[in-house]
């Protein structure tokens, strides 16, 4: 496990109007992913097209590196002194081979189906053929992993609901469409270099910031639902609260830098709270909110979840709305700090 990449190269050809050479490197930032890293790497090695795999370790002190060492020359592992995702991805841009055309975003507690990369490439090239220009990236949908804990299922139900998904990586959408915030992208390396990579000041929401800068530089961003990234969801209410707060906090930082990223939906919990104090018939606001929460629990309860999810999903939505809103306000006054909801 060194700092230099010296591996056989692979070429994948896709026919559009002419043959185009596409080479993909999967970039995997990790930090203490002992429980999940094997499934992640195995899924990348099983792809129907050959790809490079570059793992950037932020100083894991569990068994992550032991697992990675077993793959030998099948993957490349380098140290990430900056520890965080943005630093890892920028470091990857310095280490990938010159003939790599695209980088695949993935993280250590996620995995993909064997044809994921092939589908991503075909979708990206099809979009480019249709619109007659290169695009910066194409994202995909996320799906829950196979965690069976009750709270993980509640979280999944909350994120599947229209009042819990927002417009980012957990958005439920259909088809192939242009977007401002694609998730788990296949990025064109040319576009990444054009905007200077990721802003390392962002501990979270670095992808949202990157997307806004790409759009400002003239790159189109797309997403499609033809393949998925599977993720393990939070398994405790405490970690769910911390994650929700962190997303709200850094959303404010992104909006302050990129006002066009603002979405009025993210202020609805705060607006509802204000209405309670302003309206004479204040009771209808919490009553309507409670009814909506219960409806979400009934509709979005995972098929294999127990009846407790009918109440657990509303609980997770309340935590999401409350902590995210507190985070939005908090982001106006504090600088960022290392998240504590992940190891």
Domain count for the chain, please give it. Answer: 1
Which pair of structure tokens corresponds to residue 259? 């006002």
Burial 130-155 (b: 16+ CB within 10 A, else e): eeeeebbbbbbbbebbebeeebbbbb
Task: Judge contact between 137 and 222, C-beta under 8 A.
Answer: yes
Residue 123 near residue 141 (C-beta atoms within 8 A): no
Residue 184's nearest CA partner among 212, 145, 216, 225 is 225
- Token pair 């559009």 in the structure block, residue: 16
Give the whole-angstrom CA distance, residue 11 versus residue 24: 9
What does each C-alpha distance from 108 to 45, 148, 167, 325 come to in angstroms? 14, 19, 23, 28
In a domain, 142, yes or no: yes
Kindly report the backbone phi and psi dihedral angles of residue 110, in degrees, each rounded to the nearest multiple of 5, phi listed first.
-135, 170
Residue 255 maps to a domain: no
Contact 301, 314 (CB under 8 A): no
Q: Is residue 81 part of a domain?
A: yes
Q: How far apart are CA 100 and CA 52, in angstroms?
A: 9
Predicted confidence at residue 343, as pLDDT, reads 45
Q: What is the pLDDT along the chain (343 residues), one digit of tens a residue?
A: 434 444 434 444 444 434 468 999 999 999 999 999 999 999 999 999 999 999 999 999 999 999 999 999 999 999 999 999 999 999 999 999 889 999 999 999 999 999 999 999 999 999 999 999 999 999 999 887 776 688 888 998 898 888 887 666 566 788 999 999 899 999 999 999 999 999 999 988 899 999 999 999 999 999 999 999 998 877 899 999 999 999 889 888 999 999 888 887 777 777 777 776 677 676 777 888 889 999 999 998 888 788 889 999 999 999 999 999 999 899 888 876 655 555 4
> For residue 169, what pLDDT is reported?
59
- Residue 26 CA from chain centroid, whole number: 14
- Distance of alpha carbon 279 from alpha carbon 28, whole angstroms: 50
pLDDT of residue 338: 52
Report yes or no on 5 lying in a domain. no
The verdict on residue 313 lying in a domain is: no
**Per-residue model confidence (pLDDT) at position 283:** 74
pTM of the full predicted structure?
A: 0.84
Q: Which residue has the tokens 């962190």?
A: 246
Dihedral sign computed on CA atoms, order 222, 23, 12, 37: negative
- Picking from 63, 84, 83, 57, the residue whose alpha carbon sits closest to that of residue 3 is 57
According to DSSP, the β-strands at 221-231 and 110-112 are antiparallel
Residue 259 resides in a domain: no
Here the CATH number for the domain that contains residue 204 is 3.90.550.10
Please tell me the predicted confidence (pLDDT) of residue 150: 87
Position 98 in a domain: yes
| Residue 279 domain flag | no
Could you list the residue range(s) of the whole structural domain that residue 212 is in? 12-150+166-234
């Amino acid at each position: 496990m060194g700092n230099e990449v010296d591996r056989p190269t692979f070429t994948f050809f896709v026919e559009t109007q002419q043959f185009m050479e596409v080479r993909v490197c999967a970039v995997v930032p990790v930090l203490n992913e002992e429980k999940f890293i094997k499934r992640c790497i195995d899924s990348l090695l099983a792809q129907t097209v050959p790809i490079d795999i570059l793992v950037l370790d932020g100083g894991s002190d569990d068994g992550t590196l032991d697992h990675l060492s077993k793959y030998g020359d099948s993957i490349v592992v380098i140290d990430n002194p900056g520890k965080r995702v943005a630093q890892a991805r920028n470091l990857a841009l310095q280490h990938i081979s010159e003939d790599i055309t695209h980088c695949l975003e993935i993280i250590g507690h996620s995995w993909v189906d064997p044809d994921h990369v092939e589908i991503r490439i075909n979708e990206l090239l099809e979009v480019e053929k249709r619109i007659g220009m290169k695009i910066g990236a194409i994202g995909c949908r996320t799906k829950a992993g196979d965690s069976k804990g009750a709270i993980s299922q509640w979280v999944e139900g909350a994120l599947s609901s229209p009042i819990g998904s927002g417009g980012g990586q957990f958005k439920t959408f259909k088809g192939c469409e242009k977007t401002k915030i694609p998730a788990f992208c296949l990025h064109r390396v040319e576009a990444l270099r054009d905007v200077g990579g990721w802003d390392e000041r962002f501990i979270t929401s670095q992808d949202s910031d990157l997307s806004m800068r790409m759009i400002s530089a003239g790159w189109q961003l797309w997403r499609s639902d033809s393949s998925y990234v599977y993720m393990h969801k939070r398994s405790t209410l405490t970690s769910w609260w911390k994650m929700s707060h962190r997303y709200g906090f850094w959303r404010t930082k992104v909006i302050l830098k990129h006002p066009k990223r603002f979405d009025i939906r993210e202020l609805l919990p705060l607006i509802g709270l204000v209405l309670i104090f302003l309206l004479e018939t204040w009771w209808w606001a919490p009553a309507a909110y409670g009814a909506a929460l219960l409806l979400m629990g009934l509709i979005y309860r995972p098929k294999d979840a127990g009846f407790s999810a009918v109440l657990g999903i509303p609980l997770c939505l309340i935590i999401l709305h409350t902590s995210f809103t507190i985070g939005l306000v908090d982001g106006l006054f504090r600088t960022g700090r290392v998240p504590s909801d992940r190891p």
